[in-house]
Chain A
Amino acid sequence: MTPTIFAQVQQIASDLFGIPAGHVTDQSSPENVEAWDSTQHLNFVLALEEKFKFQLSPEEMEQMRNIGAVVRLVENKLQQGPQ
C-alpha cells in the first residue's frame, strides 16, 4: 500500500526537523517547530522536489506556511501531472 501524501510529507518533516513523525500535524509550522528555520525551509523544498519529482516556484515556496498547506500544495502539483 502506498503511504498517503500526508504520511510522506510527515516523514520528510520528521527527518529534517528531528521530531517524531507523530508530532508533525497539519498545524506544524515555523512558529511552533524549532528546527524549521530558513535553511531548513530550503532543505524542505529540496527534499519535496526530490521525493515528488517536481519543481516549486518562488510563489509556491511562499505558500508552505504549515504542513497542511504543504500537503495541499503537493497534492495540487501531482494532479497537474509531470512538468
Chain B
Amino acid sequence: MSSGAKIRDLRKEADDLIASASEQLAALRLAELWREESTAATAAFVTSRFEKLRTKIPLVSYRLAILRSFTLEPAIPFLRALAFVHGIDLNVHVGDFNAYAQEILDSNSSLYAFAPDCVILAIQTGDVAPELWNEFPKLSPESVSGTVERVSSSFEQWIRAFRERSSAALIVHSLELPGHPSLGLLDAQLSTSQSATIEEINRALRRIASQHRSIYVLDYAALVACHGYLHWHDERKWLIARMPIAADQLIHLAREWLRFLAPLTGRIAKVATVDLDNTLWGGVIGEDGMSGIKLGSEYPGAAYQALQRALLDLTRRGILLAVCSKNNPEEAQEALKNHPGMLLRPGDFVAMRINWNDKSQNLREIAAELNVGLDAVAFVDDNPFEREQVRNALPEVMVLHLPSDPLKYADAVRDYPAFQRLALSEEDRRRTDIYVAQRERSQTQRNFTSKEDFFRYLEQEAEVAPLAPETLARVAQLTQKTNQFNLTTRRFTEQQISDLIADPHYRVLSLRVRDRFGDHGLVGVAITHDQGEACEIDSFLLSCRVIGRTVESAFLSSLACAAAARGCVRLNGWFLPTKKNAPAQDFYSQHGFQVQMKNGEGSLWTFDLRQGRIPAPPWIRLRVNEGEQN
C-alpha cells in the first residue's frame, strides 16, 4: 500500500473509531498516523481529533506559556500533536513579539494572568546582545566583558523576578553560537572569541538557573548543532516573517520542548523493559547460538552495543531495566552472563521474564514485582507485532517505536521523552543497586523460618537526622509520592518544607536505613509540631522499599524520646485513611497509642510520654543525629 493511501486509511479509521466511541483505539490510530507522517497538516488533524477524545482517555492537562523574541507560532501545532501522542493535553499561550521582559517583570501581565504550569523563554542572541552578534570585531575587551556582564545580569533579573511572581517551572533557551563568526576562521584563533564570549553568558545562565528552584536551561546551541546550522536556519523566512527556523526543523524544536514537558508533567518511565533477540543483540540466540548472534564493536554487532550503551545510560538516571523476552531461559541467561560483546550484564536488570508467555502478561508481572504502575513502564522491542499486541492489551504502557534499521535503535532510546530527567537524587543514581540488593534480601529471607532471625541477620541500621540542605529535595519528593505507608498523606514542595522549618515549633526528620546487603538510602520522613505540652506528628511516612522491616518502630521510638526530652508529655498523631494507605492503619494502635477522637476525616491517637517510652526493636541499631535543622 502506498504511504498516501495508508495515511488516508488511518485518518478514516481514527474518525470511524471516534464516531463509534472506541476512544482508546482511536488514540492508538492517531499515534500511528503521526508516526507515519509528522507534517504540519497532520499535526492539525491529530490535534483536532485528540481534542474530541479529551474527556474520554487519560491525559495530563498542562498550561504552557512561551515568551520569545522571534516568530515561533508555527512550532506550536507540532508541539500540541506530539504532546497529545505522549498523553499530555497542552494549553499554549504565546507572549507578544519581543515583549518577554515586560511580561516577566509586570506581575499584572497576561503571562501571570494565564497561570502557566511552565514557561519557555526563547531569546535569540542577536536580539539580546546585538553588539556581540553583529559587531564583535569592533568591540574593545572592556566592552566585551561589559556586554557579558549586562546580559548575564538581565537573565538574573528576569529569573529572580519570575521566581518571585510565579511557582511555575521556567525553561530558558541558552544563547545560540554563530555558524559564521564575524572574523571567520580567525575567531577560533582568539582566546576571547565571539563564540567563547557567548558561551560565557551561557555558563552564567546555567549558574543562575542552578541557584533557583525549577529553572532549567535548554541548550539551544547543542540543539542547532545536532540538526545542523545550515539546515536549521532559513534566512528567507527570517526576513519575511521573523521566523529564523526552517519549516522542516520546527518539529525538532517541538520535540526538544516535549523532552522537558515529559518529566515536568510526570509522564516518565521508571522501568525500561527490553526484548533480547534482534533487540539487545542481532539474530536469535536459540538458532544462531553464542557465536552466531551479532554483538560487538564492529558492524553489524555495533548497532546492538550502541543500544546497550544507551540503556546503560538510563540506569545512571535512576531508570530500571528489565528483560521481557520469548526465549529458552538457559540459552538467554548464558548470553547475558558470558557473551563477550555484552555491555549489560544480569546485575543491570532488576527483573527478568524470559519465557514463552504473552508479553503483556510478563509486563504486568514485572510492574507488580517492582511495585510501579504500568503507566511507568516502557517497552522496547524490535518486533512490530509484539508492540501492537502490548499497545492493544495494555494501552497505559509506553511502547517505543523502534525504526527498522538497528543502527537507529540507540537514538530512539536517547530521544524518548519519558526517559528524560530534570533532577537526579542520590537515590536515583543508586536505584538499580537498591533493587538488586532487595532481590537478594527476599531470596535470603526464604532461608529463615522466623522473621526475627531474619531481622537479626539483616543487621539493620536506622539513622534519624534533622533536615539538611542536601536532603531537602528527597524529603519533598517522598512526601509527594509516598502513598502506602503514609499516615496523613500531606504533600509538601521544597519551598513549603523550607518555610516549615523556619518555625521553631516544627521539626522535619529523615530516616536512612542500611543493612548487610546495602544502603536503602533516605526512605522515611517525619514532621512534628510542638503544641505546648503535646507534640503532634504532622506527617509520618516510609518508602514502600522498607515496609515490614520494623524500622518504622525505631523511627517512632526516636520521635517519642526527642519529644520527651523537650518536655512534652503527650505524643499525638492523626491517621487519615486514603484509598492506598491501609498498610499504615494499625500503626498507632500497635505502638500503644489510644484513640482520642474520630471524625469524618480520620482518627486522632495519643501516647502518654509520662507512662513510658516506645521501645525500638532490639535488632535495629538506632542512630540519632542531633544536628541543627536550620
Confirm or deny: B274 has a beta carbon within 8 angstroms of a beta carbon on chain A: no
Confirm or deny: A46 has a beta carbon within 8 angstroms of a beta carbon on chain B: yes
Q: How many residues of chain A have a CB within 8 Å of chain B?
A: 19
The answer to whether A50 and B4 touch across the interface, beta carbons within 8 angstroms, is no
User: Which B residues lie within 8 Å of A18 (CB)?
Assistant: 44, 48
The 8 closest A-B pairs by CB, nearest first: A46-B247, A15-B41, A47-B40, A15-B44, A12-B41, A15-B45, A58-B240, A47-B41
Q: Give B234's nearest chain A residue, CB to CB.
A: A55
Confirm or deny: B208 has a beta carbon within 8 angstroms of a beta carbon on chain A: no
Confirm or deny: B236 has a beta carbon within 8 angstroms of a beta carbon on chain A: yes
Question: Of B4, B42, B73, B250, which one neighbours A39 at CB under 8 angstroms?
Answer: B73
Confirm or deny: A49 has a beta carbon within 8 angstroms of a beta carbon on chain B: yes
Task: Give the shortest distance, in Å, between A9 (CB) and chain B (any CB).
Answer: 10
The answer to whether A15 and B240 touch across the interface, beta carbons within 8 angstroms, is no
Question: Of A2, A11, A50, A61, which one neighbours B248 at CB under 8 angstroms?
Answer: A50
The answer to whether A16 and B240 touch across the interface, beta carbons within 8 angstroms, is no
The answer to whether A51 and B240 touch across the interface, beta carbons within 8 angstroms, is no
**Which residues of B does A touch, CB under 8 Å?**
4, 39-42, 44-45, 48, 71, 73-74, 77, 236, 240-241, 243, 247-248, 250
The answer to whether B243 and A51 touch across the interface, beta carbons within 8 angstroms, is no
User: Which A residues lie within 8 Å of B236 (CB)?
Assistant: 55, 57
Which applies to chain B's interface (DSSP): helix, strand, loop or mixed? Answer: helix
Q: How far is the CA of A42 from the CA of B248 in the complex (A)?
A: 14
The answer to whether B240 and A61 touch across the interface, beta carbons within 8 angstroms, is yes
User: Which B residues lie within 8 Å of A43 (CB)?
Assistant: 40, 44, 73-74, 77
Confirm or deny: A81 has a beta carbon within 8 angstroms of a beta carbon on chain B: no
Q: How far is the CA of A51 from the CA of B4 in the complex (A)?
A: 12
What are 17 sample pairs from A and B whose C-beta atoms fall under 8 A apart?
Answer: A3-B4, A11-B41, A15-B42, A15-B48, A16-B44, A18-B44, A39-B74, A42-B74, A42-B241, A43-B44, A43-B74, A46-B74, A49-B247, A50-B247, A51-B39, A51-B41, A57-B236
Q: How far is the CA of A53 from the CA of B42 in the complex (A)?
A: 16
User: Which B residues lie within 8 Å of A11 (CB)?
Assistant: 41
Task: Give the shortest distance, in Å, between A38 (CB) and chain B (any CB).
Answer: 9
User: Which A residues lie within 8 Å of B41 (CB)?
Assistant: 11-12, 15-16, 47, 51
Q: Give B48's nearest chain A residue, CB to CB.
A: A18
The answer to whether B4 and A2 touch across the interface, beta carbons within 8 angstroms, is yes
Q: How far is the CA of A42 from the CA of B44 in the complex (A)?
A: 14
5 further A-B pairs in the complex, CB-CB below 8 A; given A39-B74, A42-B74, A57-B236 = A15-B44, A42-B241, A42-B243, A46-B40, A47-B39
User: Which B residues lie within 8 Å of A61 (CB)?
Assistant: 240
